[in-house]
Amino acid sequence: MRRLAILVSGRGSNFEAIARNIAAGKLDAEIAIVISNNPEAKALETAATLGIKARCVPSKGVDSDTYAARVRDVLAPLGIDLIVLAGFMRRVGQPLLDAYPQRILNIHPALLPAFPGLHVQQQALDYGVKVSGCTVHFVDSGMDTGPIVAQAAVPVLDDDTAESLAARILAEEHRIYTEAIALVLSGKYRIEGRRVVRTS
C-alpha cells in the first residue's frame, strides 16, 4: 500500500475528501500521517475523528529550512511515498524538497500560472476573469510554479463573491486531488520540461 503524508494548516477539507475517497475505495493508498504546522488546525480534530495518526509540528518562529528538516525527520521512519500539501500555508524548505524530489504535490485554488499566492479567488474576481478553477502541481522551490498534474475549470458568475467562487472551486479540488494523487502513485506519467505527460 502506498503511503501518504498530508500537510495541513487549517480547515482540512481536502484532507478529509482524500480520506473519504480512500475509505470509498476510490484511491488505493493509506494516510500514514497528517502533519499540521498550526496547533489550532481543524484538520487535527478531523484526523482524530477518522482515526488517522496526526501530529502538530509548530512552525511559529521557525525558518522554512529548519522547519522542513523537522518535518523530514518526522517522516523519515514512516516510509512515505508521496507528500500531499492540503491547505498548507508555509513555503516548503529545501531539506524536504531534497528528500522527496518530485514527490510533493500541492493544490492551488486558481488556474496557474494565473493568480499564484494568497487570496486568489478575490484576485480572480477583481481581475474580471470569466473562468477560474484549481490546479494540482508538483512542488518546487518557487511559489506555485512546479509542473502541473491536473486542472479543473469553473465559471465565474456575475454575482459571485470570493466565498461563493471559493466554494465552487473547492468542490472541484476535492475531485481532482484524488485523481492526481492516483496518477502520481501509479507512476504512469513522465515529466517533460514543465509538462506532466501520461504514459501507457
Q: Which is nearer to ligand GRF, 87 or 93 (CB)?
A: 87
Q: Which is nearer to ligand GRF, 87 or 95 (CB)?
A: 87
Shortest distance (Å) from residue 100 CB to ligand GRF: 18
Q: Which is nearer to ligand GRF, 71 or 105 (CB)?
A: 105
Shortest distance (Å) from residue 135 CB to ligand GRF: 9
Shortest distance (Å) from residue 134 CB to ligand GRF: 6
- Phi/psi at 171 (5° precision): -60, -40
Q: Which is nearer to ligand GRF, 82 or 107 (CB)?
A: 107
150 — alpha (psi -120 to 50), left (phi > 0) or beta? beta
Per CB under 6 A, residues contacting ligand GRF are 10-14, 86-87, 107-109, 170, 173
Q: In whole angstroms, give the CA distance from residue 129 to residue 15.
A: 28
Catalytic residue numbers read 108
Shortest distance (Å) from residue 200 CB to ligand GRF: 29
